[in-house]
Amino acid sequence: MSGFPWGSFGTGVGVSAGGVLAVMLVTFAVGVSKGRHRYVDIAWGAAFAVASTISVAAAVARGEGDGARQGLVTALTVIWGLRLTLHIAHRGRGKGEDPRYEKLLAKGSGNARLRALRTVYLLQALLVVLVSLPVQAAQYLPHPVGPLVYAGCALWLLGLFFEAVGDRQLEVFTANPANKGRIMDRGLWSWTRHPNYFGDFCVWWGLYLFACADWRTAAATVVSPVVMSLLLTKGSGKRLLERHMAHRPGFADYASRTSGFVPWPPKRRPQRDV
């Protein structure tokens, strides 16, 4: 079995980076024309699907990789990316600008459009390329599918379950006028305050396992799930959302009895003396 084709892999990453950049530039043009930059969130999942599709095409064109591994890792990435894209597009239909981007772009001076391009679109393009490195490396591994791939599929499936079910439960809850102003604390949301972010965490650690058949690719790409984990817990995910939710009535009580990230049975509400 030959060694890992680092040269071909590097070329493939460059080509896929070009595809991701094209997605973000088109999205930037749409955002400018519509006066809203929230469209970049829709493009996030689609950009991963594009990166994966281009990378497998580049690997196959060079005669590299194992077909079963390539098919699985590409399919799982595309399914995850397109589901996320469709969900965010549906959730944001008819809404105005995302408050996060309003605050971000209100800071600083100079041309607001160029600032948006630099701090929103190009940054997210870079993150897509970085986070997708295990998926791209897996396309070039010659190793047949084994236990690590099966474990990666299981972890990915767990993650997709938490994402899709959590998103659906929240959508049904918020669609009910009787729940206006209330905190969602049912279903998966009673086990973790962020089932969708926990799902993302599982998905990307699962996809990372596809690149672990060779210790060198495992070591070279471990930064990717680590970066995604930090984004979800310390970056634009959990931290910012909870800062926004902190002053809502009932959130402090919800946070006191519900796990902040990893699912765990909820604490019982303290009984009050009658």
- Please enumerate, as own/partner, the contacts of 265-274 that have beta carbons within 8 Å and a separation of 24 or more: 265/191, 266/185, 266/190, 266/191
* pLDDT tens-digit map of 151-203: 999 999 999 999 999 999 999 999 999 999 899 999 999 999 999 999 999 99
Percent of the chain past pLDDT 70, that is, above it, reads 96
* pLDDT tens-digit map of 56-77: 999 999 999 999 999 999 999 9
Sign of the torsion formed by the C-alpha atoms of 215, 123, 49 and 88: positive
pLDDT at position 193 is 95
Q: Is the pLDDT of residue 219 over 90?
A: yes
125 Cβ partners below 8 Å, 6+ apart?
17, 20, 21, 23, 24, 47
Average pLDDT over residues 202-224: 97
- Return the residue matching tokens 């972010």: 197
Q: Is the pLDDT of residue 2 over 80?
A: no
Q: Would you say the pTM of this structure is higher than 0.75?
A: yes
Least confident piece of the model among 13-17, 95-99, 130-134, 210-214 = 95-99
Q: Please compute, for residue 132, the number of CA atoms within 13 A of its CA located in the half-sphere on the CB side.
A: 36
Q: At what angle do helices 39-61 and 6-34 cross, to 10 degrees?
A: 150
Distance CA 210, CA 133 (A): 11
- Return the residue matching tokens 């474990």: 151
Q: Is the pLDDT of residue 46 over 80?
A: yes
